Structure 1
Amino acid sequence: MVRNLLGADAETRSTRWLAAIEAERPVATLNDLYRGETWSQVNVLVQTARAAGYDPTLYVASAGLGLRKATFKAPAYAATFSPGHADSVASTTPAAKDWWARLPHEVTALHDTPAVWVLSRSYAQVIGQDLLARRATDRVLVFGGSEQIPDQFRVPAQRSLRHTLGGTVTSINVRMAAKWIELAKGDEIHSLAARERFHLWAKEATVEERFDRRPLTDEQVIDLIRQMLAQDARMPKSRALRQLRSAGLACEQKRFAGLYARVVAKR
């Protein structure tokens, strides 16, 4: 786990990390190693592409392993570009980019064939520009992503499609990509026709979500924070607040930060 690394500079930490990964015995392919709703939807995405007549090869952009085929065998590990996590590889985007540059990558993932990338905002901020710079063609679509991805390549996440596509907000990018491919019907994925089909569908499928979260007293919020920290002592306040809100509960961000600090100070 990244949290166990010693050393302040990126070069030392990445060198120790790669040595530790190399010393561990591979336990499974990445396709079998990953779990959760989002990854299950990645497999649906691949199946959708095959059913539509495409011949996809799945790659994983890993904060711990670099750019790898999903069939790559790896040890269990914990590393992420998402900020505020105990296993975040860096605390700033420039430092995370430096870390990414030191990881090994399968360059065949960046050849000139058409590509569909699904990237969260935090990952796109770190690796998006690097991946685009390595390609010799502009035939790429990026679902999700961030402002660092040029508009011509990017299909931003649309939370208003969650009601129609199902699942949680975290898997919306993957589900959108699968729908795009389904609607492309075997045509060139990056074509104007495929783009127009998706946008026409999205216009009809959009359902704006309204939130009616239940307000809490200070004592109730403090109790919930204590429960969350009991389960994960390193949980940052940003993730704790997201977890509280995802449960349908309300607390203003500044107020929550103060209550979180109060709980941490007394531990």
Structure 2
Amino acid sequence: MSIVVTCTDRKTLLPASGLSARELPQGSLPERADTWRARLRSFDGERRALRDLYKGEAWRRSLDVEKKATELNLAPTMYVASAGLGLRQVDEVAPGYAATFATGHADSVAESAGGARQWWSALSAGPAALALADLPRRPTLIVLSAAYAVPLADDLRALASTNPDVLVVGAVQPMPGARHVVANRALRAELRGTAMSLNQRMAQAWLDRLDGRPLTAPELFPEWDRWVERVQQPEIWDRTPISDETAIQAIRSMIATNDRLTWSPALRQFRDSGYACEQKRFKRLFAKASEER
């Protein structure tokens, strides 16, 4: 089995000099991608295997998917899709870097869906690059976060055109050609964990139900739907309103622990802490808190 997961922002190495997307020079997207690839190739500092480079709860759950597949004797080979590295086998090595498909981030590689697709195509080009369609023709489980659904769509379509046994877990957009288990936050109560690792937990739950059957056995899908109908619990948000002054104090505390923090991940962290704040208002307060540093 091949398993494809997406990378995480959190890493065990700080970004090396020149390997943050914010440090790329102005220019067209292909020019910036060429510069980025050249910097990766020429870097001669510390590198770590990707399984040791990424960290955090979501990454641990990705490794759990690999572990579950191993326990089921599915002989998994795991790959990581990364906005900074392209598609890599999990035991390949890489330096610390900062690049993301998430918009509104200082290290965003593109600010539009079209730009993200173009960036991914650039990373997938070249003699040493790997594309999804290059993976062995065997059962392939792809655990896909929302940020990667659009950039990888064309690559995924090419894979599905030659491999009939592809399952995508996560994202909400239709995945042409592949069987798809849609992300469902109503499963959090049943599967536990954070929203960031829900796709991985869903993938593990799917593997638990194989019972010796193929990854995309037709009967698995109605079985899954019946299980979801039985256990899902729609989330009801109960966040606490907060004043501008208190919000700014909270933002300052977040910035103090991470001076590279930008408003978008800060807002997610703020809301995960149980506070309510409209996006436009939070962005304004974040800018104010940043100016007062």
Normalised by the size of structure 1, how large is the TM-score? Answer: 0.90
Query: 2: CA distance between counterparts of 1:249 and 1:146?
Result: 26
Query: 1: CA distance between counterparts of 2:195 and 2:262?
Result: 20
Q: Residues 128 and 145 of structure 1 are in contact (CA less than 8 Å); yes or no, is this contact kept in structure 2?
A: no
Query: 2: CA distance between counterparts of 1:128 and 1:16?
Result: 24
Q: Cα–Cα, structure 1 residues 125 and 249, in superposed 2: closer, same or farther, change >3 Å?
A: same
Equivalent position amino acid for 2:157 in 1: L
Aligned-pair CA distance for 1:179: 0.5
2:29 corresponds to? 10
Aligned-pair CA distance for 1:100: 1.1
Aligned-pair CA distance for 1:21: 0.8
Alignment of 1:5-44 (within 5 A): 5-25=24-44, 27-44=47-64
Instruction: Select 1:192's aligned residue among 207, 215, 218.
Output: 218
Equivalent position amino acid for 1:19 in 2: A
Q: Residues 25 and 32 of structure 2 are in contact (CA less than 8 Å); yes or no, is this contact kept in structure 1?
A: yes
Aligned-pair CA distance for 1:257: 3.9
Equivalent position amino acid for 2:59 in 1: W
Query: 2: CA distance between counterparts of 1:254 and 1:155?
Result: 32
2:11 corresponds to? none
1:112 corresponds to? 137
Residues 120-129 or 197-206, more deviating: 197-206
Instruction: Select 1:70's aligned residue among 57, 70, 90.
Output: 90
Instruction: Select 1:245's aligned residue among 271, 285, 288.
Output: 271
2:77 corresponds to? 57
Query: 1: CA distance between counterparts of 2:93 and 2:287?
Result: 41
Alignment of 1:204-223 (within 5 A): 204-223=230-249
Residue segments in structure 2 that go unaligned for 5+ positions in a row:
1-19
SS at match of 2:110: coil
Measured on the aligned residues, the alpha-carbon RMSD in Å equals 2.3
Give the total of aligned pairs. 267
Equivalent position amino acid for 2:185 in 1: R
2:119 corresponds to? 99
Q: Residues 125 and 146 of structure 1 are in contact (CA less than 8 Å); yes or no, is this contact kept in structure 2?
A: no
- 1:178-225: CA deviation from partner (whole Å, max 9, x where unpaired): 110110112111012222332232222212222322221222122223
Instruction: Select 2:148's aligned residue among 110, 116, 123.
Output: 123
1:182 corresponds to? 208
Identity %: 39
